[in-house]
Amino acid sequence: MKLIYPINVKNEFVFNSSARDFTVEEIPLYEFTGEGEHLVLQVRKKDMTTWEMLDAISNHLGIRRRDMGYAGLKDKYAMTIQYISILAIHEEKLKAFTHDKIKILSMVRHNNKIRVGHLKGNRFKIRLKKVLGVQKDKLDSVLKWIKNNGVPNYFGNQRFGNDGDNWVDGKKLIDVELKIRDKKTREFLMGSYQSYLFNKWLSKRMELNMLLEEFSESEVEQVMGLPKGSLAGTKEEPNFFKLVEGDTMMHYPYGRVFNVEELSKEAKRFESKDIAPAGLLAGKKAKLSTSTAGLIEAPFAEDIPLNGTRRYAWIQVTEITKNYVEEKAHYELSFVLPKGSYATNVLDVLRGGTI
């Protein structure tokens, strides 16, 4: 995937995805009740996957991993703080649990098991290194742009495996060129292909945004192979991400899905962060874009034997704080992203990129 960067600046810095320089902390969806038959653990782990952490705890307790609850999967090469749940009957045995990569920070009773997706978002803390004075000023400027505008919501490399090609097997499964018996593995690989198509579509829309920064609507229509007049009114929109007729939108940060009918009206709502464009995760029962947006989306709306849905194409970065440690040339960042979003999207915009 080629990156497209909204500001004509290239920033140089070093980022190591490690427990020393990268922290991810879950923000719970709700307050825990303090009573009930379940026990919610706030767990800190480092240099291991969520699956490995769950296995370590479940093996100690003598329970099945599937009997444990968790809200989301967290990075391996980071210090991560997340919430998991177990039945409270295991509380006494849990007191004897020790592990050099896992620390249980707190425990609280709750009425139900934690389910996947039961979180508001994640707070990221990142340390960038070798940031000299002039680079610090550039990062300040781009961070201000990010705060005002947001970032594209690409799926991160975690979705595509160590070699980045999980989607290839997913495509082969869909085309019946590969057979895998395990249902979860099949769905995971086909989901990777869904994500690949989403990223390709988002790259196409980012190309459209960049072209509209430099050329007229009629010129961009020719370049993109769109009907004459299909981009009317887009260039004057206040947002970097330009909406087009028929775009699928979602209320932000959660809410119902609908299609754009009045472009200027919805562009203003997008500017106020009340709504955001939603890209397609191809599959059954997915709501499709119409009009101009539908033409752009069509090559990525493949028939996939999974339930389809929509995913925010553009997200807001909130609670941004920064600290520059001049003597070490470290630039320390903290920010919050909605669930299902990747810190790499913020880093990519900070670095800059090319079409």
- Cα–Cα distance measured from residue 91 to residue 96, given in angstroms and rounded to the nearest whole number: 10
CB 126, CB 344: distance < 8 Å = no
Total residues found in the chain within this entry: 355
- Give bridge partners of residue 127 from the DSSP assignment: 332
> Is residue 55 annotated as part of the catalytic site, yes or no?
no
- Cα–Cα distance measured from residue 292 to residue 255, given in angstroms and rounded to the nearest whole number: 23
**Cβ contacts of residue 171 below 8 Å, gap of 6+?**
193, 196
Q: Which of 21, 55, 75, 303 is catalytic?
A: 75
Tokens of 103: 């620390």
Instruction: Give the sign of the dihedral formed by CA 62, CA 75, CA 333, CA 277.
Output: negative
How far are the Cα atoms of 100, 249, 291 from residue 273, in angstroms, in the given order?
A: 43, 12, 23
Catalytic residues: 75
